[in-house]
Amino acid sequence: MTRLTLGEILLCLGSGTLTALAMPGIDWMPLVAFSLIPFFYVLERRRGMVPGLLFGIAFFAIDLRWMISL
């Protein structure tokens, strides 16, 4: 089992961040077309659990901004 490189980690986190920015609230919808490309690049080279977890953490952490309005 090989570890993710720093570049792959940053690609997953960046992709999750860009995807979260495209959701309602900030609403940069055209970003969705490009935000998943780095994530899919990493998934082609690696198995999906760790990259998916990194993507999900970045996405969910930013997308929790709706909780502020409660």
Give the C-alpha distances (Å, rounded to integers) separating 16 from 38, 41, 51, 54. 10, 13, 10, 8
Confidence of residue 70 (pLDDT cuts 50, 70, 90): confident
pLDDT on residue 1: 56
Q: Give residue limits of the domains in the chain.
A: 6-69
* pTM summary value: 0.86
pLDDT in tens, 21-51: 988 777 788 888 899 999 999 999 888 899 9
Residues 6+ apart with CB under 8 A from 24: none
In percent, the amount of the chain with pLDDT more than 90 equals 56
